[in-house]
A and B are shown apart, each in its own frame.
Chain A
Amino acid sequence: MTAESAVAGELRTMLADLTGRPEVAHIGPDTVLFGEGVGLDSLAGTMLLRQIERRYGVDVAAEDLNLDALETLGTLASFITKRV
Chain B
Amino acid sequence: MIKCVVWDIDNTLLTGVYLESGDQLPEPDPELLAVVRELAGRGILNALASRNPPAAARYVAKVTGADFAAEECGWGSKAEAITRIAAELSLAPDAIAFVDDDMLERAEVAAALPDVLVLTPEDAVEAPGWPAFSPAVITDEARRRGELYARRRQRQAEAAAFGGSRDEFLRHVGTRISIALATEADLPRLHELSVRTHQLNSGGEEVTESELAGYLEAARVAVYTVRLADNFGDDGLVGAAILTGNEAGGDAVGLVSGAFGVYQVPLVMMSCRALGRGALDALLAWLCRAAAAAGATELQIPCLVTERNVPMRLALAAAGLRAEPGSIGPDGRAIFARSLTGALPRLADWVTVP
Task: Give Cα distance in the complex from A7 to B165, angstroms.
Answer: 24
- A46 near B311: Cβ-Cβ < 8 Å: yes
Q: Chain B, 153-165, contact with A by CB distance < 8 Å: what is the 0/1 string?
A: 0000001101111
Is A57 located at the chain interface by the 8 A CB criterion? no
State whether B312 touches A39 (Cβ < 8 A): no
Residue B256 at the chain A interface, CB threshold 8 Å: no
Bound-state CA distance A68–B322 (Å) is 9
Closest to B159 in A: A20
Rounded to whole Å, the gap between the CB of B305 and the closest CB of chain A is 7
Question: Does A41 count as interface, using CB distance less than 8 angstroms?
Answer: yes
Interface residue from A19, A21, A40, A61 paired with B310 (Cβ < 8 Å): A61
Stretch at the interface among B15-23, B174-182, B190-198, B273-281: B273-281
Any A CB within 8 A of the CB of B32? no
B3 at the interface (CB under 8 A from A): no
The answer to whether B305 touches A42, judged by C-beta atoms less than 8 angstroms apart, is no
Q: How far is the CA of A44 from the CA of B166 in the complex (A)?
A: 10
The count of chain B contact residues (Cβ–Cβ below 8 Å) is 33
- Is A2 at the interface (CB under 8 A from chain B)? no
Total residues of chain A contacting the partner, CB 8 A: 22
Determine the chain B residues whose CB is within 8 A of the CB of A1 once the complex forms: none
Asked if A3 lies at the interface with its beta carbon under 8 angstroms from chain B, I say no
Given the known A-B contacts A35-B318, A61-B313, A70-B317, are A42 and B166 also in contact in the complex, defined by CB atoms under 8 Å? Answer: no
CB nearest to B305 among chain A residues? A65
Chain A CB within 8 A of B125 CB: no
Nearest-CB distance from B306 to chain A (Å)? 10
Residues 299 to 318 of chain B near chain A (Cβ within 8 Å): 305, 307, 310-315, 317-318
In the complex, chain A residues 42-84 whose Cβ is within 8 Å of any chain B Cβ: 42-46, 49, 61-62, 65-68, 70
Q: Which residues of A contact B (CB under 8 A)?
A: 19-22, 34-35, 39-46, 49, 61-62, 65-68, 70
- Chain B residues proximal to chain A, CB less than 8 Å: 159-160, 162-167, 199-200, 275-276, 278, 280-281, 305, 307, 310-315, 317-318, 322-323, 325-328, 334, 336
